[in-house]
Structure 1
Amino acid sequence: MELSDLAKALWLNGISTNVMLIFLGTVVWGSLIILTLLRRRSRSLPPVVNTIPLIGGLIKFIKGPMLMLADEYQRLGSVFTVKIVTKSITFLIGPEVSAHFFKAAEADMSQKEVYQFNVPTFGPGVVFDVDYSVRMEQFRFFTEALKVTSLKRYVDYMVEEAQVFFSKWGDEGEIEFKSELERLVILTASRSLLGREVRDQLFDNVNDLFHDLDNGMQPISVLFPYLPIPAHKRRDKARRELADVFSKIIQNRKSSGRIETDMLQVFIDSKYRSTGRATTDNEITGLLIAALFAGQHTSSITSAWTGAYLMRYKQYLSEAIEEQKTVMKAHGDKLDYDILSEMDVLHRCMKEALRLHPPLIMLFRYSHSDFTVKTREGKEYMIPKGHIVGTSPAFANRLPHIYKDPNNFDPDRFAPGREEDKVAGAFSYTSFGGGRHGCLGETFAYMQVKTIWSILLRNFELDLVSPFPEPDWNAMVVGLKGDLIVRYKRRALTVD
């Protein structure tokens, strides 16, 4: 064979080999695709709620989200999808199916996409208006401001504010309890978080501005946060004026060299580890607003519900009063962080009120990848990438397979030896969220409410005059509907 013939043969053999490799590669790749599709098909998609085309489940949400969840949970089980306009929202109800929701990494399940409606309120450059790495650094600032050494100082401020506030009540009378608690909570939060300057000189102004900012978050804001409605215009004006107020306070502190022991000071002193730069005035303002916004509603609502249940169920009120006597016998009239931490009965009453009435009734994430969940019954569902994934603390906290007589107020369900929230495993109790995005202010909230109720129990007899309240499902943060009228009579608790 000549060299040219040999070269030709080798060349043809090379083509055949390449063709064969391409063919085999195509077969393998095609097989993998088929297997993936078959695997995805074997993991069924969640059942879909029957809704009107285009507007989808919007009407069901408007009529009542909790009613919708109750109906569909009964009909479809713990995993189901609701289509709203172009969005698919898949709900995961209960600890058996919600672990990925709480534990997933940000790359797989994120908050930013679904909480953009907060940006006009908190402002640019903070929380949900920044990427994950910056947001985690900002959350580190919150963690620093809420560490135990700081909380101990904050409790002292809370005690002082509450004592002054209640000293202005008469010897006896009737009050609208809910509004009184709202005002006290924002007073204690203002002193602890916003600082002495706001509390002593600018409280009324800041309180009015915050009220407009708060009322600017309407249900329609979730879908259309920049819609030019009157509430949004007042919100934006209040946000600009708050920025001016805080900017002056921040500059005054920096120029005077004065160091305070509040959250504002922590934010002023904070620096980003990734760049070494200090926080800007705009960032400090946004972080303070976010902190106050998160804490005010949760604490005032929890204080009101706790009181409503204590006044309705006198046996728990008696137990809480006896606990105060025990604490006072050991420590006298003093109240501080460590003493409040001893109050297990009051803690359980608060926790049970929060189980029944968590202020945030739904939590949402955006899914960046497919994932699988398995129900108690053994059914597996594949949740597709691109779905909004939701869970409901308000609904999951009342599941009868976790909590005995779940609609009853029973603080003893959290007592040692029973602890119903731990029997079914993690995420059985989610009033403060959980996992990667658990509430940073949980301990602050417990200390704040315990302070208020310790002083109330020690100094007043309380009776509920108005009917027992119902939840206000029309609010963004679900509190109590209508007035909460309470009759009080001043008295000093004595230790036997």
Structure 2
Amino acid sequence: MESVESTIANSKILNVGLLLVATLVVAKLISALLLPGSKKRLPPTVSAWPVIGGLIRFLKGPVVMLREEYPKLGSVFTLKLVNKNITFLIGPEVSAHFFKAPESDLSQQEVYQFNVPTFGPGVVFDVDYTIRQEQFRFFTEALRVNKLKAYVDQMVMEAEEYFSKWGESGEVDLKYELEHLIILTASRCLLGEEVRNKLFDDVSALFHDLDSGMLPISVIYPYLPIPAHKRRDQARKKLADIFSSIIISRKQTGKTQNDLLQCFIDSKYKDGRATTESEVTGLLIAALFAGQHTSSITSTWSGAYLLENPIYMSAVLDEQKNLMQKHGNEVNYDVLFEMETLYRCIKETLRLHPPLIMLLRSSHSDFSVKTKEGMEYDIPKGHIVATSPAFANRLPHIYKDPDVYDPDRFSPGRDEDKAAGAFSYISFGGGRHGCLGEPFAYLQIKAIWSHLLRNFEMELISPFPEIDWNAMVVGVKGKVMVRYKRRALLPSH
């Protein structure tokens, strides 16, 4: 009797087991057939070793990885990065959502948290989106045309003063010279005359420590207790003390200045609340970080390309000569605005060498993209979504001979960046999060190169520079040695 009951019991267990297996198999089949395409249309993934393989490939250089994978996988693919998935969207056909999506769908906040120790608490990526939008409004108001016109006068003055110290002829490291001039100009326009005239060396050294604390490892582990991070944190504290004393002094004396610092002091939130000293300091640091490196790198590349391309050098010199004949030797906002040839040369430099090689977002909802070949992919919520100006700006189906320096590609009639639609040129980002400092950057670089072109004959005597892929803001590797000779001013009549 027991054995019959045992057999029946075993048979029931077996039947239940078989039923469970059958249910799981059927459920799997139904889910494959009925669940939305996001389960079936995931982007292809980059081949890498499990767990840390993707991280190794990423840290070796994202652009190198993109060059290897784009021809194999196309314009949409995913890199598994330890416990994260990064999905790359390369090219305007798949990038519209990246640039246009609201913050609730694609957010900057999580992916740029590594900036918080540098910028400080209570600003930019350490506040929620509504506050961040108000802080970005402070930037926008500080960079309106009437403010930019005043900044141009300061830029021109700084350039004249700086280059007056060069001799009749000589050899200089152009990269070094432009880095120093840019931080002087930024100090004058952004940080104010107290820093420019009295505290420049101190502030400059502290910014160097802040900058040196921004390493590739900082993106993943911003609070790792390494020496560079400790120096960063000490520098941030000292800068806060310096700016705090300047802000208090200005408020007590009622003395105002025409600079970004004053704009931030005077800014008010929608509820009427004034900015705090801590917020003003953080916003200033963010502004200098956003503008100083990018402008000095672009100024250096711009010069290297002009010195290597006599046709374009001749064209920008002719433009300077014509504008000086038209306006006399005065250079102001309106004159800089007319420098279309120089503008195209800088724009082409930025196409080839955008200082920010990666733009990142965190996806809070599923979305789909369609490639130019007609492939559709669903990007799951939770992925980090990335695009690369350094790679996307050189796509051959958008730009003819994409690795060749050709400023005329932006001339009326050709307009290669417009022919392929929006987001074909993304050196300054685009859409909701386009760079607020773009007009300031162009004016600054034009002011410097207008002065150099009119006052000096130059010749590149070191090899054409290489790209320094190891820096967080990708720049020029090594020295850029130039031989110069002071020229008679280009004739004004």
Distance in 1 (CA, whole Å) between partners of 2:40 and 2:353 is 35
Which aligned pairs between 1:59-98 and structure 2 lie closer than 5 A?
A: 59-98=56-95
- What's the offset of the Cα at 1:58? 1.1
2:234 to 233, 237, 240: 237
> 2:4 corresponds to which residue?
none
Residues 330 and 415 of structure 1, relative CA distance in 2, 3 Å threshold: same
Do residues 114 (structure 1) and 107 (structure 2) align? no
User: Quick check: 1:325–1:493 contact (8 Å CA) kept in 2?
Assistant: no
Cα deviation, residue 64, structure 1: 2.2
2:127 pairs with 130, 140, 143, which one?
Answer: 130
Label 1:37 to 1:88 Cα distance change in 2 as closer, same or farther (>3 A). farther
Quote how far apart the aligned CAs of 1:67 are: 1.2
Residue 170 of structure 1, aligned match among 142, 167, 171: 167
Paired residue secondary structure (1:106): coil
Aligned to 2:22: none
2:411 paired with 1:399: no
| 1:101 paired residue among 98, 101, 122 | 98
* Structure 1 residue 292 corresponds to structure 2 residue 288: yes
* Pair 1:182 & 2:179 matched: yes
Per the alignment, residue 432 of structure 1 pairs with 428
* 1:152 equivalent in alignment to 2:149: yes
Deviation at 1:492, TM superposition (A): 2.2
Question: Structure 2: which amino acid aligns with 1:494?
Answer: L
Q: In structure 1, what is the equivalent of residue 328 of structure 2?
A: 332
Match of 1:416 in 2: 412
User: What residue identity is the alignment partner of 2:438?
Assistant: E
Query: How far apart, in 2, do the equivalents of 1:56 and 1:384 lie?
Result: 21
Q: Give the counterpart of 1:385 among 373, 381, 405.
A: 381
Q: Residue 59 of structure 2: SS of its match in structure 1? A: helix
Match of residue 44, structure 1, among 41, 45, 67: 41
2:14 paired residue number? none
CA distance in structure 1 between the partners assigned to 2:94 and 2:66 by the alignment: 15
The answer to whether 1:248 aligns with 2:237 is no
Candidates 480, 486, 492, aligned match of 2:488? 492
Counterpart-to-counterpart distance in 1, 2:243 and 2:145: 26
* Unmatched 5+ stretches in structure 1: 1-29
SS at match of 2:65: helix
SS of residue paired to 2:204 = helix
Secondary structure (helix, strand or coil) at the match of 1:161 reads helix
The residue that corresponds to 2:197 in the other structure is: 200
Q: CA deviation at 1:418?
A: 0.3
Identity %: 70
Measure the CA separation in 2 of the matches of 1:482 and 1:58. Answer: 27
Aligned with 1:218 (options 215, 218, 227): 215
Counterpart residue identity of residue 431, structure 1: S
**Any conservation in 1 of the 2:211–2:232 contact (CA below 8 Å)?**
yes
**Residue from 210, 224, 228 that aligns with 2:225:** 228
Q: Secondary structure at the match of 1:260?
A: coil
Residue 374 (structure 1) aligned to one of 352, 366, 370: 370
2:350 maps to 354
Do residues 469 (structure 1) and 448 (structure 2) align? no
Per the TM alignment, residue 62 of structure 1 is displaced from its structure 2 partner at its CA by 2.5
One-letter amino acid of the structure 1 residue matched with residue 429 of structure 2:
G
Residue 23 (structure 1) aligns with: none
Secondary structure of the 1:162 match is helix
> What do residues 444-464 of structure 1 show as CA deviations (whole Å, max 9, x unaligned)?
000000000000000000110
Q: Distance in 2 between matches of 1:471 and 1:281?
A: 38
Residue 183 of structure 2 contacts residue 292 of structure 2 at CA under 8 Å; is this kept in 1?
yes
CA distance in structure 1 between the aligned counterparts of 2:38 and 2:324, rounded to whole angstroms: 64
Q: CA-to-partner distance for each residue in 1:298-320, whole Å, 9 max, x for gaps? A: 11011000000000011101100
Root-mean-square deviation (Å): 1.3
Q: Does structure 1 residue 280 correspond to structure 2 residue 262? A: no
Aligned-partner Cα distance in 2 for 1:222–1:453: 34
Quote the offset at 1:493 in angstroms: 3.1
CA contact (8 A) 2:38 2:380 kept: no
CA distance in 1, matches of 2:40, 2:348: 37
Change (3 A) 1:423 1:231: same
How far apart, in 2, do the equivalents of 1:488 and 1:466 lie? 13
Query: TM (normalized to structure 1)?
Result: 0.92
Q: Give the Cα separation in 1 of the matches to 2:305 and 2:357.
A: 19
Residue pair 2:244, 2:281 contacting (<8 A) in 1 also: yes
Contact 2:428 2:438 in 1 (8 A): yes
Return the alpha-carbon distance in structure 2 between the equivalents of residues 466 and 235 of structure 1. 33
2 CA distance for matches of 1:238 and 1:62? 26
1:173-196 Cα deviation digits (max 9, x unpaired): 101110110000010111000011
Question: What SS class does the counterpart of residue 471 from structure 1 fall into?
Answer: strand
Q: Deviations over 1:250-297 (max 9, x none)?
A: 000000011211111110011110x21100000000000000011001
SS at match of 2:467: coil
Change (3 A) 1:100 1:37: farther
User: 2: distance between equivalents of 1:393 and 1:354?
Assistant: 9
Is 1:453 the counterpart of 2:444? The answer is no
* CA distance in structure 2 between the partners assigned to 1:194 and 1:481 by the alignment: 28
Q: Distance in 1 between matches of 2:295 and 2:308?
A: 20
2:255 aligned with 1:258: yes
Structure 2: runs of 5+ lacking an equivalent: 1-26
**The residue matched to 2:240 in structure 1 has which SS?**
helix
CA contact (8 A) 2:46 2:79 kept: yes
Could you tell me how far 1:36 is from its partner in structure 2? 9.7
**Secondary structure of the equivalent of 1:83?**
strand
- Answer yes or no: is the 8 Å Cα contact 1:87–1:388 preserved in 2: yes
The corresponding residue for 1:3 is: none
Code of the aligned partner of 1:79 = V
TM superposition shift of 1:39:
2.9
For the residues of structure 2 that align with 1:43 and 1:366, how far apart are their CA atoms? 22
In structure 2, distance between residues paired with 1:97 and 1:493: 49
Q: For residue 65 of structure 1, what is the amino acid of its counterpart?
A: P
Q: Does the 8 Å contact 1:43/1:380 carry over to 2?
A: no
Per-residue CA deviation, residues 78-124 of structure 1 (Å, 9 max, x unaligned), is: 00000010000000000000100000000000000000000010000
Q: Is the 8 A contact 2:93 2:372 kept in 1?
A: yes
TM-score, length of structure 2 as denominator length: 0.93
| 1:56–1:82 CA contact under 8 A, matched in 2 | no
8 Å CA contact 2:59–2:216 kept in 1: the answer is: no
C-alpha separation between the residues in 1 aligned to 2:236 and 2:41? 46
